[in-house]
Structure 1
Amino acid sequence: MFSRFSRRTFLKSTAAATVAASLPRLAAAQDKVIRIGFLAPLTGAVAAWGKPGLDGCAIWAERINAAGGIKLADGDYQVEFVSYDNEYDPAKARTGATKLIREDGVSFIMMLGGDTWPGVQPVADKTGMLFSTLLPSDLSPETTTLIAPAEVHPIYNVTGVEWLAENKPDLKTAVMCAQDDALGLPSVATYLAAFEAAGIEMLDDPLLFDPATTDFAPVVTRLIANDPDIVCLDTCYSDYVHPICEQLFQQGYKGQIISCTADFYDQMIAKTSEEFMEGFVFQFPDFDDPALNADTINFADPNGFYAEYNKRHPGQWGAVSWEYASIMDLWKAAAEKAGSADPEAVMAAMKDGGKGDHAFGQADWWGSELFGIDNALVGDWPVVVIEGGKARVKAFKSIPDWYARHGDLLVKHMTAYDQMWNQRS
């Protein structure tokens, strides 16, 4: 419906082919194998935040296995990923979690999270399995075996707004739209807090649209009616970001755009223009960016990883292409430190000392003030700007520093949208 970028057409395969998207199983005779579960949307509207991550894990596994595997107390193990397409459906996610644990014998399960986590939490509680999410807003004091070690959505969005306020102080007004769901709402609260902290006026309440929306012309018309300096696209799916940007272009908007993601931004440029997309601010870098070669970066050979990914999957690099692999770096280090793949031992080793090697630098296990539990790994996050048709990291900004100054605003807006952990429980 939205041309080739749409996540609804992101995968053209049948359901059977999707299930087969798991990495090839290692030879049955090879007994020293650790299986990792990948429980995420591989088809449907949210597939672009699942399938590219599985593709990145394939590259990660090949690198690790070629280097000797995972070194535990009783020997070296090869790693194998087993995927299950939950189609971003809570019931299917629960079925998938049960299968991965009972039938596939996984030692760890990675998820996108969001609307699917409530379906899985009873399985986690019953089995004690270690799960990861890309959405710390899933966390609560009851989610004792759930960690958010890579992406700290939505609180990293404050860094983009802070950078805008510092570098473009003439931008004084903003509007925002988002889909009305578990990904959109906590992000809305975060952007509202960030805009308030930056002294940027919201011209209207956030425009929340139904996730089934396909015609974005009236959404954009309403959005820009008061001539805002900034249009914020919150954490809209690519299915929404692309047509919204096309409508902004067609309706003559000339101002600043900020968004959590800009997956497949080259296709947005093709549908609009390089000039229109110039200065677009978002939060996810291309891994060929020179800024990722700094000594503080904890991701092995990011440029080589990016090149290999694009060789295998041209045009499909997105926000999550590296994130699940980054989680596996942390998991591998913790398992080797513990000498075991046991979920409880790995989690204890991972959180030992209260700090961890996040992809973008050392970070703190944090979250009790906002999530009721210190299970999110929070530190610096990049601010990315499109310049000359290419995404470039402009700064790494500290989330904890922002929270120390403005945490009360985030709590205020999260509470207003019923997104605090005690409200969600």
Structure 2
Amino acid sequence: MFKPSTKTAVTTAAAIAFVAAAALPHAAFAADVLRIGAPLALTGGLADEGKKQEAVWQLWLDKLNAAGGVKVGDKTMKVEIIKYDYQTDGKRAGQLAEKLITDDKVDFLTAPFGSGHTKIIAAVTERYQVPLLACVASSESVYDQSFKYLFGTLAPNSGMTDAMAALYKEKLPTLKKVAIYGRDDVFPKSMATSMATSAKAAGIEVVYNELYAVGTMDHSAAISAIKSTGADWIYMTGYTQDLILGRKQLNDLGVKAPIVTMVTGPAYREFTDGLGDLADGVTSSTWWHHATAYTGAAGVWPSTEAFYKDFTAAFKSDPDYVHASCAAAADVLVNAVQKAGGTDKAKVRDALEATDMLTFYGPIKFGPNHMNLGRDMPIIQVQGKDIKVLYPASIANAEMKLIK
């Protein structure tokens, strides 16, 4: 069962550190403790996403340490996660990453939610040559900087958009026009760009393609412009609250289309809870769904089912791709430490580069740019109060419904 950490320490500008570890004296500097640093957005605009990372890492940590820790060579190590709230401030994220390395003496770091903030932290870890595991950064622009110490468990964005354009053309043969509206931020912007490229390649005309500023609180002007295009498909990118507002304003302004896609809205329970009936019919794409059935996995959970069982028992809700990818990233890091025979940063980096393993989340093998090699990623749709998987066929459990 997940229990919030109780140790706290106040740092600069009210950032709070929560240390979660076995009850060892001076655990933060013990030689037999594997220390992982985690700058997280626990307040501010990305707090919903950051709290998901915090919760699933605590679940993973409790299970790992309850089993005795990690066997590394001839010793067993407990694991400690030192977490700071960077308050959804990119500059603060970089500062706290450096603090974790220089003051807290962590062995490795995990990255926070989003490609933009991951990129900031990657610049810090690269300078100090500390391996960094990113579990919610999928924009190729983060990985094209020749970072040697950054590794990501998500696959590239383009795999999602190509499949989506092909599927929607199949389900709606009359599909001719798409309107694309994206948040001007690293991940949402890259998804909008990728979607425009995929749509054009599929013979779909892009009749609207604009970005909105971070913090935009009114989309009515853009939505009115989209309405005038007569688009068959509306594709909006952003984060949960952006997309909830966008869907409400589409309804308020009477804008309808047979296909409405919001990336990655329906992947989050907050989206469907926040919209109620207005969420029905909205499609999206994601990197993972608990309907996948991986077995014989390495790590804390031997199967998707085992992870799902523990998660739902702890939180009384379904996990999404953020939970799964981040828990799997922790498994990958521990596996690399075991392969390296210790916490030597260069050896662990080399072990990460050679990773080829099956986790409950799926296969993880890092490509030349250190992103997880592409695989078929689920396309999902809200149908009633449920999330249904439309693609790939191997895990699909519903047919796509058009919005009337």
Coarse TM-score class (shorter-chain normalised): 0.7 to 0.9
- Which of the numbers 195, 202, 219 marks the counterpart of 1:198? 202
- TM-score for both structures, normalised by structure 1: 0.77
- Which of the numbers 342, 345, 352 marks the counterpart of 2:344? 342
- Which of the numbers 364, 387, 398 marks the counterpart of 2:383? 387
AA partner of residue 182 (structure 1): V
Counterparts in 2 of 1:125 and 1:333: CA distance versus 1, 3 Å:
closer
Q: Quote the offset at 1:396 in angstroms.
A: 3.7
Deviates more, 1:239-248 or 1:163-172: 163-172
Asked if the contact 1:52–1:316 (Cα under 8 Å) also holds between the matched residues in 2, the reply is no
Q: Quote the offset at 1:25 in angstroms.
A: 5.9
Q: Secondary structure at the match of 1:129?
A: coil
Q: Deviation digits for residues 250-307 of structure 1, max 9, x if unmatched?
A: 3332421123212444653663516x622523315553x2xx2244877644344345
Counterparts in 2 of 1:225 and 1:44: CA distance versus 1, 3 Å:
same
- Which of the numbers 371, 377, 394 marks the counterpart of 1:376? 371
Unaligned runs of 5+ in 2: 1-11, 395-404
Tell me what 2:230 maps to.
Answer: 227
Q: Quote the offset at 1:103 in angstroms.
A: 2.1
Measured in 2, the distance between the counterparts of 1:122 and 1:264 equals 29
Q: Secondary structure at the match of 1:132?
A: strand
**Aligned residue-pair number:** 370
Q: Quote the offset at 1:175 in angstroms.
A: 0.6
Q: Quote the offset at 1:92 in angstroms.
A: 1.1
Unaligned runs of 5+ in 1: 1-14, 367-372, 399-425
Measured in 2, the distance between the counterparts of 1:47 and 1:393 equals 27
- TM-score for both structures, normalised by structure 2: 0.81
Q: How does 1:142-221 map to 2 (within 5 A)?
A: 142-148=146-152, 150-158=153-161, 159-204=163-208, 206-221=209-224
Counterparts in 2 of 1:152 and 1:225: CA distance versus 1, 3 Å:
same
Q: CA RMSD in A?
A: 3.0
Deviates more, 1:187-196 or 1:250-259: 250-259
Tell me what 2:132 maps to.
Answer: 131
AA partner of residue 67 (structure 2): A
Asked if the contact 1:207–1:223 (Cα under 8 Å) also holds between the matched residues in 2, the reply is no
Counterparts in 2 of 1:336 and 1:151: CA distance versus 1, 3 Å:
same
Measured in 2, the distance between the counterparts of 1:230 and 1:313 equals 35
Measured in 2, the distance between the counterparts of 1:131 and 1:283 equals 22
Asked if the contact 2:151–2:371 (Cα under 8 Å) also holds between the matched residues in 1, the reply is yes
Counterparts in 2 of 1:217 and 1:383: CA distance versus 1, 3 Å:
same
Measured in 1, the distance between the counterparts of 2:42 and 2:89 equals 11
Q: How does 1:25-424 map to 2 (within 5 A)?
A: 26-28=23-25, 31=30, 32-112=32-112, 114-117=115-118, 119-133=120-134, 134-135=136-137, 136-148=140-152, 150-158=153-161, 159-204=163-208, 206-234=209-237, 236-252=238-254, 253-262=256-265, 263-265=267-269, 267-268=271-272, 271-273=275-277, 277-278=280-281, 280-287=283-290, 289=291, 292-295=292-295, 300-313=302-315, 317-352=319-354, 355-357=356-358, 361-366=362-367, 373-380=368-375, 381-396=377-392
Q: Quote the offset at 1:334 in angstroms.
A: 1.8
Q: Deviation digits for residues 299-354 of structure 1, max 9, x if unmatched?
A: 644344345445544569554222211111111222212211222212212222x7
Q: Quote the offset at 1:141 in angstroms.
A: 4.6
Measured in 2, the distance between the counterparts of 1:22 and 1:397 equals 43
Measured in 1, the distance between the counterparts of 2:362 and 2:207 equals 36
Measured in 2, the distance between the counterparts of 1:340 and 1:260 equals 39
AA partner of residue 259 (structure 1): M
Measured in 1, the distance between the counterparts of 2:185 and 2:60 equals 31
Task: Pick 1 or 2: higher relative contact order, CA cutoff 8 A, min separation 6.
Answer: 1
Q: Deviation digits for residues 362-403 of structure 1, max 9, x if unmatched?
A: 35432xxxxxx53111231222222332113333489xxxxx
Counterparts in 2 of 1:230 and 1:285: CA distance versus 1, 3 Å:
same
Q: Secondary structure at the match of 1:378?
A: coil
Asked if the contact 1:362–1:379 (Cα under 8 Å) also holds between the matched residues in 2, the reply is no
Q: Quote the offset at 1:43 in angstroms.
A: 1.3
Counterparts in 2 of 1:383 and 1:16: CA distance versus 1, 3 Å:
same
Asked if the contact 2:156–2:371 (Cα under 8 Å) also holds between the matched residues in 1, the reply is no
